Amino acid sequence: MGNIWRVKFHRVILISILIIASLLALFPILMMLMNSFKTSAELAFNSWGLPELWTADNYIDLLAFNSNIITRTFMNSVFVTVTYTVLTLVISSLAAYAFSKLRFRGQNVLFFGLLATMMIPREITMPAIYLMFSRVNMLNSYSVQIFPGIANVFCLFMLRQYMNSLPDSIIEAALIDGAGYWKVFWRIMLPMSRPAIGAMAILVFLEKWNDYLWPSMLLTKPEVMPIMVILPTLNIGNSLYAIPWNLIMTGCVIVTIPLLIVFLIFQEQFMSSITIGAVKE
């Protein structure tokens, strides 16, 4: 009997801790959502409570702010992030297939050389990349936001680990039946790797959507900037006190929506991502 009560007590403690942790994680999001429906004056004296008068004027004002710059930069973020994610997954999946199922000279040396690049901080390579793109006149463009980084070694590594868990016998049978390497990749490896690809899609999309440092270094024209660079600079005057915090809170809600949509689409694959590479044939 004592063991039963001890187990129940531990379960209550664990559930209580999980509830507290969940509330702490959700609290900033709830504050952001509530403050997006407050006027600037109400936000100044009632930043912690529910809005006295729920209003959607902030969303209308934000979308029309400074000649619709928020709308333009939001679409910039969508275009850049979706394109970057698709290209990264295509290149990484092809490379993972080659490193996992094909055999060629120097395969392991090349793969570990790529893994070694993950040890180099991103900030160290930025000056060289900046000079390279400035000399080919690619600054202030969509290309400079998309092409650097699409050869994602982390994504390559995770997809290779998953493909290693897929049986070679299926590929061998397909090759015996006359299928080429491209057909094997397109018809067999990609469908079987959907859980890993879906999980990586979320991680890559999240990384690029939240990127601030790279575009803030390479872009000076607002019309090509992503919303993550423009949103913190909103100002209705020339002083610190002219920052429209109600519009910034509204913008934070807007930029969160695409992340929620992507997660809902790939949530099953994302939850299974913790087992990528854990199964061996």
What's the distance, CA 69 to chain centroid? 23
Looking at per-residue pLDDT, the higher value among 104 and 267 belongs to 104
pLDDT over 50 at 146, yes or no: yes
Spatial separation of the C-alpha atoms in residues 79 and 264, rounded to whole Å: 19
pLDDT of residue 273: 57
Task: Tell me how far apart the alpha carbons of residues 195 and 232 are, in angstroms, rounded to a whole number.
Answer: 35
Q: Which residues of 24-41 are buried (b: 16+ CB within 10 A; e: fewer)?
A: eeeeeeeebebbbbbeee
Closest CA to 77 of 173, 241, 183, 214: 214
Q: Which residue would you say has higher pLDDT here, 277 or 142? A: 142
**Who's near 227: CB < 8 A, 6+ residues apart?**
70, 73, 74, 76, 77, 251, 254, 255
Tens digit of pLDDT for each residue in 55-111? 888 999 888 887 788 999 999 999 999 999 999 999 999 999 999 988 888 888 999
Domains and CATH numbers, the chain: 34-42+56-275 (1.10.3720.10)
- Residue 117 pLDDT more than 80? yes
Q: Please name which of 221, 218, 93 lies closest in space to residue 150, comparing C-alpha atoms.
A: 93
pLDDT of residue 37: 92
Name which of 265, 266, 276, 263 is nearest 156 in CA terms: 276
Of 145, 121, 122, 120, whose CA–CA distance to 133 is shortest? 145
For residue 277, the model assigns a pLDDT of: 46
Q: For 178-212, how does the pLDDT look when each residue is reduced to its tens digit (9 = 90+)?
A: 888 888 888 889 988 888 898 899 999 999 999 99
Task: Using alpha carbons, list the distances in angstroms from residue 100 to 18, 104, 162, 199, 217.
Answer: 39, 11, 9, 19, 36
Is residue 281's pLDDT more than 50?
A: no
pLDDT tens-digit map of 224-247: 999 999 998 887 766 555 778 888
Distance CA 92, CA 109 (A): 18
Q: What is the pLDDT of residue 280?
A: 47
Cα–Cα distances in angstroms (integers) from residue 70 to residues 36, 74, 113, 217, 231, in the given order: 15, 6, 41, 19, 8
Instruction: Compute the mean pLDDT over every residue in the chain, rounded to the nearest whole number.
Output: 86
Confidence class for position 272, pLDDT limits 50, 70, 90 = low
Q: What is the structure's pLDDT at 15?
A: 92
* Residue 53 pLDDT greater than 70, yes or no: yes
